[in-house]
Amino acid sequence: MLRHYIRPLIVMVILLSVAATSLAYEGEPTDDELTGWFNSLTKAEKIEELRRSDRIDHASPSLTAPRLVVTQTKDGTIDAWFDGPLGFDIAGYLSYEVTLPAVTVKGNPEKNTWLSFGLGAAAGAATIVVLSLVLNILSP
What confidence score (pLDDT) does residue 18 get?
59
What confidence score (pLDDT) does residue 7 get?
59
CA dihedral sign of residues 90, 93, 96, 97: positive
Looking at the fold, whether 54 and 116 belong to one and the same domain comes out as no
* Cα–Cα distance for residue pair 91/51, rounded to 1 Å: 11
* Cα–Cα distance for residue pair 94/89, rounded to 1 Å: 6
Kindly tell me if the per-residue pLDDT of 4 is higher than 80: no
SS3 40: coil
**81 has which bridge partners?**
69
Looking at the fold, whether 83 and 51 belong to one and the same domain comes out as yes
CA dihedral sign of residues 34, 40, 41, 47: positive
Looking at the fold, whether 104 and 53 belong to one and the same domain comes out as yes
Looking at the fold, whether 35 and 72 belong to one and the same domain comes out as yes
Q: What is the pLDDT of residues 16-38, one digit of tens each?
A: 665 555 556 678 888 999 899 99
Looking at the fold, whether 70 and 15 belong to one and the same domain comes out as yes
Looking at the fold, whether 13 and 35 belong to one and the same domain comes out as yes
Kindly tell me if the per-residue pLDDT of 40 is higher than 90: yes
Contact assessment for residue 128 and residue 120, using Cβ atoms and an 8 Å cutoff: no
pTM, full prediction: 0.46
Looking at the fold, whether 98 and 119 belong to one and the same domain comes out as no
Looking at the fold, whether 57 and 96 belong to one and the same domain comes out as yes
Domain hosting residue 16, numbered range:
3-109
How many folded domains does the chain comprise? 2
Looking at the fold, whether 23 and 50 belong to one and the same domain comes out as yes
Looking at the fold, whether 104 and 120 belong to one and the same domain comes out as no
Per-residue exposure over 119-134, b if at least 16 CB sit within 10 Å of its own CB, e if not: eeeeeeeeeeeeeeee
Q: What is the pLDDT of residues 68-86, one digit of tens each?
A: 898 888 888 888 999 999 8
